[in-house]
Structure 1
Amino acid sequence: MEQTLNPAQSQSLPSSSPSSSSESTETHPENASRRTSSPAPPLTPAAPSSRLWRPAAQRNLRNQWSNLSTYRQKWPSLSSAALSHASSLVNAHLSQRHFHIPFFKSFYVRLVLVNRYMKDMELGVLSNMPNIKQKACQKLFRQQEFHRSKLLSSYKSMVAVLVHMANTCRSMRCYLKGTTSSPLVQFSSCSENNNDSGDGGGVPVFTFWSISVYEKLAQELFQMFAWELNLKRLLVIELLSIRSEEAPEINELHWSDELYPGEFHDLSECNLYSGDPCEPVLPKFEGWKSDTSDQQPHHEVLQVYLTAWLADVNIDKYRVDEIFAVVGEEMHVALS
């Protein structure tokens, strides 16, 4: 790799010897005093790394925004799967009290209704089968536990996606790897020098925008999904805490409970865990803090929970599309 310096870059470096330049300004005492007394400029990649920084930064930004686009596309499918399992839980709970449920009606609802009215049903020749009612009830309970575990698993997958988004937002900058005297110039998204800002001195990476602009847009995007995950965590706690007459032993969950091993660590990566008090950050709606209730929710409230989950109320889909469109236009790539 050639390490020759650009002429402009060579002139900006201080001379190590007065005889190295024939220009009168180099030997004038006032100019020498001005050079020694002026503050040192911020560290930027040294030549030839200064010439190679921009292509490396461009590749890094394209990769990171491509990753963000991938994580954004995973979110709807994970959210839809979680909603499906949440609907099954709600249907099972509502069927304990109401025979006719026109909303969220499904095959699983009919199974639970059979369980509800099994005691009064005439089974005909099936009555001679030993413990048929108990076996049917046990199967229905296993189905309910299946959807409960699947809902939690879907939530865990959504947290994992948000963690990846957070790490991607922190990897926009391009830092010099190793020392400037190394014969092989390499770059990394992790800083090895506190004096290296990783933004090339604020120069445009592609056409107009510096790295800080990309970081602000990525943070805006991430924050919408973080707020939405925080709200969905509240809904998951409420839905997992639903109890029925046939299963009163279900433990009630609270906001400060860890829903799965390592959840608090994952939330910390997303700035959704507070050290004081030691619990996840509560969802906020224009300054009002949400909290869980000790009472079992009514069916109208449960339907609102499912509707709120479906709506992704904290994610402005038009703004998300706009962010990816303008970033893709600036980088000359298509971010679908």
Structure 2
Amino acid sequence: MPAMELGVLKDMPGIRQKACDKLARKQETYRKLLLSSYNDMVLAVAELVKSARSMRCFLKGPIASPLAQFSDIPEHENDPGDGGGIPVFSSFSITYFENLAHELVKMFLSELSLKRFLVVELLSIKHEEGKGQFDRLKWSDELYSGEFQDLTISGLCSEKNVEPLLPSLRGQQPCASLTTQVDHPLSSDVLQVYLTTWLADVNIDTNRINDIFTIVEEETQVKLS
């Protein structure tokens, strides 16, 4: 804003400072909205992980019982929770459905990790006194109170790690380290790349999701979408 050409408005007293102040207030509002959206994503993915882990089918009653039940806790110590390998609906076992669920969850976990990187970068930008300042956040910083606890549920953070697992792109290994941007405002080109990456959901394979939904719908005779 300080270097922007204002044309005929440049002669209006205090116009540049007023514009900077207004942009700063709007920026703070959108920072809060961004963080709130990220918080919602973390909680949603945590629920996905919990649901995927709850898909266990344990034998009910005696070990040779033909009865089974969905549960988090087995009645028998050596029960793997696969329902004895029998088909749940028509052809596929509970293990097959679990593998599909974990495949879906893995996509959303990797996308959440990538979006966290973008959130860290975007929240590091701070507008102050009409000048773009860079208040650098580190990957190891907790973005909101209880974030690391929420990420631990999803497996993106563990008690042994002091920071979340590093992000990766679909089909690639996670980053060995993150390159920190220099402490100055990001260029418009970099911001455009960040926003495009956010909107593109690059770690979500929509074709594979459609395939999985089709498989489950045909097997269960239940429409999912």
Q: TM-score range by the shorter chain?
A: 0.7 to 0.9
Residue in 2 that maps onto 1:45? none
Percent identity at matched positions? 48
Residue in 2 that maps onto 1:302? 191
Q: Are the structure 2 counterparts of residues 301 and 136 from structure 1 closer, same or farther at C-alpha, using a change threshold of 3 Å?
A: closer
Residue in 2 that maps onto 1:160? 43
Q: Does 1:122 align with 2:122?
A: no
Match of 1:254, as an amino acid? K
Deviation at 1:163, TM superposition (A): 0.6
Residue in 2 that maps onto 1:325? 214
Q: Are the structure 2 counterparts of residues 186 and 276 from structure 1 closer, same or farther at C-alpha, using a change threshold of 3 Å?
A: closer
Q: Of 192, 200, 212, which aligns to 1:311?
A: 200
Q: Show the 5 A alignment for 1:128-139.
A: 137-139=20-22
Preserved contact between residue 254 and residue 292 of structure 1 (Cα < 8 Å): no
Match of 1:310, as an amino acid? L
Match of 2:71, as an amino acid? S
Deviation at 1:301, TM superposition (A): 1.3
Deviation at 1:166, TM superposition (A): 0.4
User: C-alpha offsets along residues 126-147 of structure 1, whole Å, 9 cap, x if unaligned?
Assistant: x9xxxx9866654432221000
Most deviating of 229-238 and 249-258? 249-258
User: C-alpha offsets along residues 276-318 of structure 1, whole Å, 9 cap, x if unaligned?
Assistant: 4411000124236151414133221111111111111111101
Deviation at 1:332, TM superposition (A): 0.9
Match of 1:284, as an amino acid? S
Tell me the matched-pair count.
214
Instruction: Give 3-state SS (helix, strand or coil) of 1:175's partner.
Output: strand
Q: Relative to total residues, which structure has the larger helix share, 1 or 2?
A: 1
CA distance in 2, matches of 1:209, 1:97: 64
Instruction: Give 3-state SS (helix, strand or coil) of 2:211's partner.
Output: helix
Match of 1:190, as an amino acid? D
Larger-Rg structure: 1
Instruction: Give 3-state SS (helix, strand or coil) of 2:163's partner.
Output: strand
Residue in 2 that maps onto 1:169? 52
Instruction: Give 3-state SS (helix, strand or coil) of 1:141's partner.
Output: helix
Q: Of 208, 214, 226, which aligns to 2:97?
A: 214
Q: Of 166, 174, 182, which aligns to 1:282?
A: 166
Q: Are the structure 2 counterparts of residues 134 and 300 from structure 1 closer, same or farther at C-alpha, using a change threshold of 3 Å?
A: closer
Residue in 1 that maps onto 2:178? 291
Q: Of 117, 120, 124, which aligns to 1:241?
A: 124
Preserved contact between residue 175 and residue 192 of structure 1 (Cα < 8 Å): yes
Q: Are the structure 2 counterparts of residues 299 and 186 from structure 1 closer, same or farther at C-alpha, using a change threshold of 3 Å?
A: same
Preserved contact between residue 255 and residue 279 of structure 1 (Cα < 8 Å): yes
CA distance in 1, matches of 2:223, 2:16: 58
Residue in 1 that maps onto 2:72? 190
Match of 2:79, as an amino acid? D
What TM-score, normalized by structure 2, do the two folds share? 0.82
Q: Does 1:334 align with 2:220?
A: no
Deviation at 1:195, TM superposition (A): 3.0
Q: Of 256, 263, 271, which aligns to 2:147?
A: 263
Match of 2:216, as an amino acid? V
Preserved contact between residue 234 and residue 292 of structure 1 (Cα < 8 Å): no
Q: Of 204, 226, 236, which aligns to 2:87?
A: 204
Instruction: Give 3-state SS (helix, strand or coil) of 2:126's partner.
Output: coil
* Unmatched tracts of structure 1, length 5 or more: 1-94, 100-112
CA distance in 2, matches of 1:288, 1:176: 39
Q: Of 1, 22, 30, which aligns to 1:147?
A: 30
Deviation at 1:244, TM superposition (A): 3.8
Match of 1:122, as an amino acid? M
What is the RMSD of the two structures over their aligned residues, measured on CA atoms? 2.9
Q: Are the structure 2 counterparts of residues 148 and 197 from structure 1 closer, same or farther at C-alpha, using a change threshold of 3 Å?
A: same
What TM-score, normalized by structure 1, do the two folds share? 0.57
Preserved contact between residue 96 and residue 244 of structure 1 (Cα < 8 Å): no
